[in-house]
Amino acid sequence: MQVTLMNGKIHRASVTQVDLHYEGSISIDRTLLDAAGFLINERVEIYDVETGVRFATYVIEALEGSGTIGLNRAAARLAMTGDKVIIVAYASFDAAEARAFKPRVVLVDRENRISPT
Cα–Cα distance for residue pair 100/84, rounded to 1 Å:
30
Q: What angle do CA 45, 79, 56 make, to 5 degrees?
A: 20
Catalytic residue, candidates 14, 22, 47, 58: 58
Across the strands, what pairs with 72?
Answer: 19
Look at residues 98, 96, 116 and name the one whose alpha carbon lies nearest to residue 106.
116
* Residue closest to 79 by CA, chosen among 1, 12, 15: 15
Q: Is 25 one of the catalytic residues?
A: yes
Active-site residue (options: 25, 90, 92, 115): 25
Q: Which residues make Cβ contacts (< 8 Å) with residue 97, sequence separation at least 6?
A: none
Q: Where in the sequence numbering do the catalytic residues fall?
A: 25, 58
